[in-house]
Amino acid sequence: MIEVLVTGGAGFIGSNFVRHALAAHADWRVTTLDKLTYAGRADTLHDVLDDPRHTFIRGDVGDQSLVEPLLARSQIVVHFAAETHVDRSISGALQFVQTDVIGTAVLLEAARNARRLQRFIQISTDEVYGSVATGASRETDELKPRNPYSASKTAADRLAYSYFATYGVPVIIVRPSNNYGPYQYPEKVIPLFVTNAIDEKALPLYGDGQNVRDWLHVSDHCRALDLLIARGDIGEVYNVGGGNDVRNIDLTRRILALLDRPESLIAPTPDRPGHDRRYCLDSTKIQALGWRPDMPFERGLEDTVTWYRENEWWWRPIKDGDASFRAYYDAHYARPR
């Protein structure tokens, strides 16, 4: 059996990856390590918690005595755990430095002495390139992060690279674009807008709504990770973009149309400080290995809307029942920016 450690596996992409990994690899034994912050919930792994090939451990990636034995027995590490919401990084940057930078450093230190380790997959982000006015970012482009989240992720990305270059840790760095799909925490734009629209509440669209994101379905991302674990070159960086460049205003209108809700629900909202205008990835490097995104954006968005309609059991306790979400929402969206 191949021992796989997934950090942040109770979050959005991590939980989709755990599910994908157990289904696709009968010879993998998966350990999820997750702190269960506000963004992680054991519920999200409801259908795999009892799988005999899956173990869930609640803990912090920054806890050295916990991660050392986990790394020592792992052949593959996929490191998703992070603080991930840009808006929260603007109102409280230090937790992002703590988890995304220091937490990654602790894991990498443990990886130095992990004799069985064959792959350490560092999940980075397209946001490390900063805002790109034209064209598409390539892996060799300069990194120009512009908010505390992307700056912390850039530090982790380069730290991971340094552990390859200096100590030979078998690191591969992955820079995916904006993911969407089931189990995404409803602070991120697609699940926030879908669930608000279901409830006929306002959709707080920042600024002029012209910002562009490149949307990647989480299932395409999971397939890309599989490929990179099997065939990616150690020490290399790979962009993984969905090839779906969409303006926020167009995304918002599509969500409203899919839910048969009026455009009068769009609520222009003061812009995010330092809001990156556009992200766009050149993914030719991973495409040369044989990966292509399979999910057309129209279908992926429709499936995602359907998933949120059919799975209120998952998101309604967060939006309606979790006092900390309510407090965040009220403070964040009421605040003039």
Please name the residue that has the structure tokens 């012209």. Answer: 210
Asked whether the beta carbons of 123 and 13 are under 8 A apart, the reply is yes
For the four alpha carbons of 271, 272, 273 and 275, in that order, the dihedral sign comes to negative
Residue 1 CA to residue 52 CA, distance in Å, equals: 13
> Using CB under 6 A, which residues numbered 265 to 324 contact ligand TYD?
272
Residue closest to ligand NAD when measured from CB atoms: 11
Tokens representing residue 201 in the block? 């509440």
Q: Could you say which of ligand TYD, ligand NAD, none residue 148 binds, taking C-beta under 5 to 8 angstroms by partner kind?
A: none
**Residue 177 or 196: which CB sits closer to ligand NAD?**
177
Of ligand NAD, ligand TYD, none, which one does residue 205 interact with (CB within 5 to 8 Å by kind)?
A: ligand TYD
Shortest Å, Cβ 124 to ligand NAD: 7
Q: What's the rounded Cα separation, in Å, for the pair 258 and 272?
A: 26
Paired strand residues for 281: 137
What are the percentages of helix, strand and coil residues in the chain, rounded to 5? 45, 20, 35
Binding mask 7-46 for ligand TYD (x = CB under 6 A): ----------------------------------------
Establish whether 126 is a catalytic residue: yes
The total of other beta-carbon atoms located within 10 Å of residue 257's CB is 12
Partner that binds at residue 204, options ligand NAD, ligand TYD, none, CB closer than 5 to 8 Å by kind: ligand TYD
Residue 104 in contact with ligand TYD, rule: CB under 6 A: no
User: Among 34, 83, 87, 127, which one carries the catalytic annotation?
Assistant: 127
Q: How far is the CB of 187 from ligand TYD (least distance, A)?
A: 6
Using CB distances below 5 to 8 A depending on partner kind, what does residue 136 bind out of ligand TYD, ligand NAD, none?
A: none
Q: To which H or E segment does residue 267 belong?
A: strand 266-269
Residues 231 to 260 in contact with ligand TYD, rule: CB under 6 A: 248
Tell me, yes or no, if 129 is annotated catalytic.
no
Q: With CB under 6 A as the contact rule, which of the stretches 18-26, 206-214, 235-243, 321-329 interacts with ligand TYD?
A: 206-214
What is the smallest separation between the CB atom of 10 and ligand NAD, expressed in angstroms?
4
Task: Give me the count of residues in the chain.
Answer: 337
Q: CA-CA distance, 115 to 185, in Å (whole number)? A: 36
Q: How far is the CB of 38 from ligand TYD (least distance, A)?
A: 15
Q: At closest approach, how far in Å is the CB of 15 from ligand NAD?
A: 8
Question: Closer CB to ligand TYD, residue 206 or residue 307?
Answer: 206
Residue 192 binding partner per list ligand TYD, ligand NAD, none, with a CB distance cut-off of 5 to 8 Å that depends on partner kind:
ligand TYD
- Is 127 part of the annotated catalytic residue set? yes
Q: Which of ligand NAD, ligand TYD, none has residue 99 at its interface (CB below 5 to 8 Å by kind)? A: ligand NAD
Sole binder of ligand TYD in the list 13, 76, 77, 86 (CB under 6 A): 86
Cβ(78)–Cβ(121) under 8 Å? yes
3-state secondary structure of 24: helix
Interaction between residue 189 and ligand TYD (CB under 6 A): yes
Transcribe 178-246 into DSSP letters: EEESTT--TTSHHHHHHHHHHTT--EEEETTS--EEEEEEHHHHHHHHHHHHHHPPTT-EEEE--S-EE
Among 126, 187, 214, 245, which one carries the catalytic annotation?
A: 126
Residue 245 CA to residue 213 CA, distance in Å, equals 6
Of 326, 330, 309, 327, which is closest to residue 318 (Cα–Cα)? 326
Cα 142 from Cα 154, distance rounded (Å): 11
Binding residues (CB under 6 A) for ligand TYD: these are 86, 178, 188-189, 192, 204-206, 211, 213, 248, 272
Question: Which residue numbers are catalytic?
Answer: 126-127, 149
